[in-house]
Amino acid sequence: MSEPHVALSIPELLQEILEHLSMEGLNTAALVCKAWLRPAVDTKWRTQNIKLSRLLSHLAPIERDGLLFALIPEPLITHDHWHRFLEQYGNWITRLVLDMPLDKASIDLISALLERFGGQFGSNLISLNWSYETYIGDYTGGIIDLLPGTRLQEVDFHFNEQFYITGKNPLSQLAHRAPQISKLEGVFGSLDFSVFPRLQCLSHSGSLSTSDYHSLTYCRDLAVLFLQ
């Protein structure tokens, strides 16, 4: 005797359909009607490897009284809505990919939302992948101030050479917020690796040259670290 067929409810059927849509399709579905908005946005947020640029794409900023706020759409800008976003996003995300230069508006947007409604951004973050092709000035460290960093273990860090010429290294800032980091991978300028007392794995993917000041400084810092 065959198992009886159980019909899906309309919300369950909608959720099944949304699971197979692309990010662009979810954007369209969220705008169809009010009943589709929440499941479409929930599906979009429910991922463990979301890129920050994708996150910010559905937090369209508008300027209001000198601050930037989110518009998704305006009637949903509430304390409950923001905390539902933080709860779902924060509980799911473990790996954050920063794949674009964060301009001041992007950082101010998240900062203003946190200041207005409270909460934490990326509370369960374990791995941070950070890669920029161009120097982005003083805005680089701004995102670090927004991350609790209490569980962060791995950092994959790639910046171009121009970044290190400026003498600014947000890894030092990150070390103060997350000294428990045990794995570093990327291209590093001058960095006192002792600021990561639990460092167990270090991978340098850049080139080293005896005629390059940063290479020599890097090798010196490594020697100091492993001779301790």
Q: What is the pLDDT of residue 122?
A: 73
* 80 and 190 inside one domain: yes
* 29 and 135 inside one domain: no
Q: What is the pLDDT of residue 103?
A: 55
- Whether the pLDDT of residue 39 is over 70: the answer is yes
Parent domain of 37: 11-46
Q: What is the pLDDT of residue 176?
A: 81
Q: What is the pLDDT of residue 76?
A: 39
* 23 and 130 inside one domain: no
* 160 and 99 inside one domain: yes
Q: Which of 66-70, 89-93, 125-129 has the lowest mean pLDDT?
A: 66-70
* 16 and 107 inside one domain: no
Strand 127-131 to 154-158 pairing: parallel
Mean pLDDT over 9-16 rounds to: 83
Q: Within a domain: residue 4?
A: no
196 or 191: which leads in pLDDT: 196
**Are the CB atoms for 187 and 206 separated by under 8 Å?**
yes
Q: Within a domain: residue 151?
A: yes
What phi-psi label fits residue 65: left (phi over 0), alpha (psi between -120 and 50 degrees) or beta? left
* 116 and 28 inside one domain: no
Count of domains for the chain:
2
Distance CA 217, CA 117 (A): 44
Q: What is the pLDDT of residue 3?
A: 62
* 107 and 202 inside one domain: yes
**Token reading at 227:** 């001779």
- Whether the pLDDT of residue 130 is over 50: the answer is yes
Q: What is the pLDDT of residue 36?
A: 82
* 68 and 169 inside one domain: yes
Q: Within a domain: residue 120?
A: yes
191 or 8: which leads in pLDDT: 8
DSSP readout, 87-116? HHHHHH--EEEE-S---HHHHHHHHHHHHH
Mean pLDDT over 55-83 rounds to: 48
17 or 94: which leads in pLDDT: 17
pLDDT in tens, 167-185: 556 677 778 888 898 888 8
Q: What is the pLDDT of residue 189?
A: 58
Q: What is the pLDDT of residue 48?
A: 44
- Whether the pLDDT of residue 66 is over 50: the answer is no
Q: Within a domain: residue 172?
A: yes
Q: Within a domain: residue 3?
A: no
Band of residue 7 on the pLDDT scale cut at 50, 70, 90: confident
Q: Within a domain: residue 5?
A: no
* 59 and 34 inside one domain: no
* 22 and 102 inside one domain: no
Q: Which of 63-67, 92-96, 106-110, 202-206 has the lowest mean pLDDT?
A: 63-67
pTM for the whole thing?
0.56
Mean pLDDT over 10-39 rounds to: 80
* 56 and 128 inside one domain: yes
Burial code (b: 16+ CB inside 10 Å, e: under 16) for 145-158 equals ebbebeebbbbbbb
101 or 60: which leads in pLDDT: 101
Distance CA 212, CA 208 (A): 7
* 27 and 124 inside one domain: no
Distance CA 42, CA 25 (A): 13
